[in-house]
Every structure is written in C-alpha cells, then in structure tokens.
C-alpha cells in the first residue's frame, strides 16, 4: 500500500508539470508490458495461517446488519470461536460498531506512525525527540488496550464493550506476528505469567522496537515503571506527559546494544506499510453502511502465502478510498469485487494484486477527479478513468544503501472505443552511500531519479525527474 501511495503522488506531480514527452508505440508493444501476470484461479485451497503458535481461521466473513444488539452478540461469539481456533468465523457488524472500530483503528494508526518516526531516523538519537515519539505511541496504544477491557469501556457500554472484547485477541495477534517476524526477540524477556497480559505484551514489544532503533538495551525495571503509570493515568495527554521524562532518563541509563537489538528490518517494514493499511480499513469501516459483506481467505500458491479478499457493496452505492495522499485518484468499489494478493513471487520477487469483478456492475474503478487531474488531462496526457486489473510492486536493493521501487498499474478504460488497456508505471531509484563515523552510521543520498510512464495502445508518455546532490 505504501508503494501504491508513492506512485499516486508521483502521478499527481506530473499534473502540474505541463506537457510531457511522448513516443509512438509499435503494434504489440503494449501487449508485452500489460499482459496480466497469471490466472489467479490457479491458487490452492484455503489454509489456516499460524501466528505465534496459534492457528487462525482460514476464512473470515463480516456481514453488515443495522441491529446493534445482534452485532454485539455476534462479536462476543466470534471472540469465543477465535479462542477455540475455529476454521471459519462469521461476524455481524452494525454501522455503529463499525464507527467504533474506525475510531479504534485511527488510534492504532497514530501510535504506529509515532513508532515509525522513532525507528526511521538514521542520525544520532535525540533523547527528548525519541522519548516524545515513544510516549505518544505508548499513550495511543494504551487507549486501544483499554478498549479491550470489559471493566473500562471507551464509550457507550452497549457498543464499545463487545467491540473491545473482540479487538483484544486481534491486537494480541498483531504483536505476536511482529514478534514472529523479529525472530522472537520482542517478547524474549517477558515472564511466562505476563505473556497473556495484553498491556504487558504491548509495552515490552514497544520498548524492544524503540530501544533497538536507538541501539540501546531497555534498563531493568523500565517495563514495570511504565505499566504502573499507564494503569493509573486518566487520559492520553496526561499519560504522554508523565511518560516522557521517564523515557528520557531510561534512554540515558540504557546500555548499548549491537545493531538494532535483534529487532531487524522486518519489523521496520511492517511499521512502514501498516499505517496506510490501517487507514484503508478505517475508511472502509466508516462507510460500512454501504456494504453487504467483506470476506478474507488465506491460501498458498507454489508454497507462498496468498490472501483473497471480497468486498460486496449494496446495489446503487459505492465505497470510495480517497485523500490518503496528495493527488490520489479515487478508488471506487461497486458491486462485488475480488482481490488476490500474492506477496514476493518466487520467480520475480514482485508483489501482485489482482482485481476481479464478480457479477455484473462490480469492480474497482480508478477515477482521476479534481482540478489537478483535470489540468493534467487538458495539458499533459490523455488520462482515462478505468477499472483496475492488476498492481505490481517490486522493491530492489542492488547495493548496500541503494533502493529501486517499481510500481505498475494495469487498468481498462471505461470509455475506450477500441483497445481499453492502459498502463501506469512509476520507477523511483535512489543511489546512496553509507557513511560511518566514530559514533554514528548514516545514509547519504547521492542521486535520485523518478520516471513516470503512461501507456495507451498508441503512445507512451514519459516524465523523468533527476535530482543531483547539491554542491557544497
């Protein structure tokens, strides 16, 4: 999702550039570049994933129903089935509960964004800035933890209590997944009796990630000190103010660790894309009254995990994903749409998202709405609204600090008179070097290059932007 956002921003930048270069395509050129990856119907049967030693349902179905009471009962039953490791789970969700869920996701997203900032710097750690980011993340997640407690509901009891009861196991699974990606180091020091205490699990994993990013080891007793403060604070702002000085002192007292403390780049990767993914689910939850149902299945294809998602929208309505990044085209879901996500294909290393329509009138349409896109159509290139068919993402690191991102979006224009195929392609190349000093390691960018291509059956439109390092 992060890379899809990147290409949408870059595409928007083209809108303000003006006319761009174009060249005629030979017959068959578009076919070589726009051929669909593979028949997604070839994926294997449903298989239950395992996270943190726990077997998850292989199929999840969420149905929209206006009854708050029916939804509350269904959520409680789903929590029980999750604990029983059921093969399938079906949950009835009311629009009221969906709004509560959206608010919960917004809190979690804010906390993860704060943690991303803590882990994202390659410069020497500033203690107060680090402590501020950690305190904000911990305070935000404390609100989520409290929403999982029957004794401390975050809002009206008939809605938030059952929602929190179901959110607790999900949050625990997220932490267990991060721990699994990090090789078990996030929860390595947690006593066995605390492994099922959600607040303790969250705090321990956050400390490991944050201290690892600062190349420090958490000092003894820090987790217990933080837990005592978090259990007593009344609101997030007061909690953040009380946590900051504790964390500043803790970082000063913490001993050095080797590297990132065993956290690894995989956790940073999750923190990079998870906030945008949570935002997508948040926007879906806020428009839940327009949906009929959403379903998720887990499969494997050639030994690799595959996720299949289905979203059914009520007749005559649509669910829109928009304004997540600047200049983002609107993604409009209508009818019933099926999405297949294949991460890290063995043959190419690409991540592929395939979009299919189930039944007449369904699909995911990409629309270039707004003034900026209107100017792009008028002065730069003949953009056409169309249905998404496939998104391909490739991220390569050919050197120690280099990065290459390739994103291609295959779509079919809705108003095309002949060949409807269209291709958006974006490539971002950053050449960098690692500089090592007595007390720091940092990345210095030498050159960045962005290339944007828009292909129709007749022409290819290309925009290139190169940024060289400024002369000293």
Q: Percent of the chain at pLDDT above 70?
A: 77
39-48, 223-232, 406-415: range with lowest mean pLDDT: 39-48
The pLDDT value recorded for residue 332 is: 94
pLDDT band of residue 16 (cuts 50, 70, 90) is: very low
**Which is higher by pLDDT, 175 or 109?**
109
Which of residues 223 and 44 earns the better pLDDT score? 223
Q: What is the pLDDT of residues 197-216, one digit of tens each?
A: 778 888 888 888 888 877 78
The answer to whether residue 154 scores a pLDDT higher than 50 is: no
Average pLDDT, the chain: 78
- Choice between 368 and 431, residue whose per-residue pLDDT is larger: 368
- Residue-wise pLDDT for 261-288, tens only, equals 556 566 666 777 778 888 888 999 999 9
CA dihedral 37, 43, 47, 52 (to 10 degrees): -20
Q: What is the mean pLDDT of residues 367-396?
A: 82
Q: Identify the pLDDT of residue 65.
A: 95
Q: Decide which of 257 and 415 is more confident.
A: 415
Mean pLDDT lowest for which of 82-86, 243-247, 346-350?
346-350
Report the range out of 76-85, 177-186, 246-255, 375-384 with the highest average pLDDT. Answer: 246-255
pLDDT at 471: 46
Residue 361, pLDDT above cutoff 70:
yes
Rounded to two decimals, the pTM is: 0.79
Query: How much is the average pLDDT of 445-467?
Result: 82
């Amino acid at each position: 999702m992060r890379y899809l956002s990147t290409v949408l921003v870059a595409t928007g930048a083209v809108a303000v550039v003006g006319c761009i270069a174009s060249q005629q395509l030979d017959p068959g050129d578009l076919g070589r570049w726009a051929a669909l990856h593979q028949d997604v119907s070839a994926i294997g049967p449903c298989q239950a994933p395992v996270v943190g030693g726990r077997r998850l349902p292989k199929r999840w179905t969420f149905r929209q129903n206006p009854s708050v009471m029916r939804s509350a009962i269904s959520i409680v039953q789903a929590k029980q089935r999750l604990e029983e490791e059921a093969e399938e789970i079906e949950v009835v969700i009311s629009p009221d509960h969906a709004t509560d869920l959206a608010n919960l996701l917004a809190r979690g997203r804010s906390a993860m964004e704060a943690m991303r900032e803590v882990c994202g710097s390659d410069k020497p750690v500033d203690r107060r800035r680090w402590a501020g980011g950690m305190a904000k993340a911990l305070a935000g997640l404390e609100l989520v933890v409290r929403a999982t407690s029957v004794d401390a509901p975050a809002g009206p009891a008939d809605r938030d209590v059952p929602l929190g009861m179901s959110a607790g196991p999900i949050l625990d699974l997220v932490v267990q997944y991060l721990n699994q990606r990090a090789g078990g180091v996030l929860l390595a020091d947690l006593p066995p009796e605390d492994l099922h205490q959600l607040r303790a699990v969250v705090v321990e994993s956050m400390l490991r990630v944050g201290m690892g990013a600062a190349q420090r080891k958490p000092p003894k007793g820090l987790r217990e000190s933080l837990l005592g403060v978090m259990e007593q604070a009344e609101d997030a702002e007061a909690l953040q103010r009380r946590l900051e000085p504790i964390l500043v002192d803790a970082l000063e007292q913490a001993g050095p660790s080797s590297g990132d403390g065993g956290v690894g780049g995989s956790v940073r990767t999750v923190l990079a894309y998870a906030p945008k993914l949570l935002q997508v689910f948040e926007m879906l939850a806020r428009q839940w009254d327009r949906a009929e149902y959403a379903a998720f299945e887990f499969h494997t294809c050639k030994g690799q995990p595959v996720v299949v998602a289905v979203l059914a929208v009520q007749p005559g309505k649509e669910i829109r994903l928009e304004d997540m990044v600047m200049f983002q085209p609107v993604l409009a879901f209508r009818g019933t749409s099926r999405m297949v996500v294949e991460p890290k294909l063995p043959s190419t290393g690409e991540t592929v998202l395939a979009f299919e329509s189930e039944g007449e009138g369904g699909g995911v349409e990409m629309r270039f709405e707004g003034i900026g896109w209107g100017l792009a159509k008028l002065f730069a290139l003949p953009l056409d609204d169309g249905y998404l068919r496939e998104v391909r993402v490739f991220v390569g690191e050919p050197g120690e600090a280099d990065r290459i991102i390739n994103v291609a979006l295959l779509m079919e224009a809705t108003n095309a008179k002949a060949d409807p195929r269209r291709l958006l392609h974006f490539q971002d190349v950053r050449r960098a070097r690692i500089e090592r000093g007595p007390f720091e390691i940092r990345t210095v960018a030498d050159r960045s290059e962005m290339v944007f291509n828009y292909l129709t059956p007749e022409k290819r439109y290309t925009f290139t932007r190169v940024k060289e390092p400024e002369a000293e």
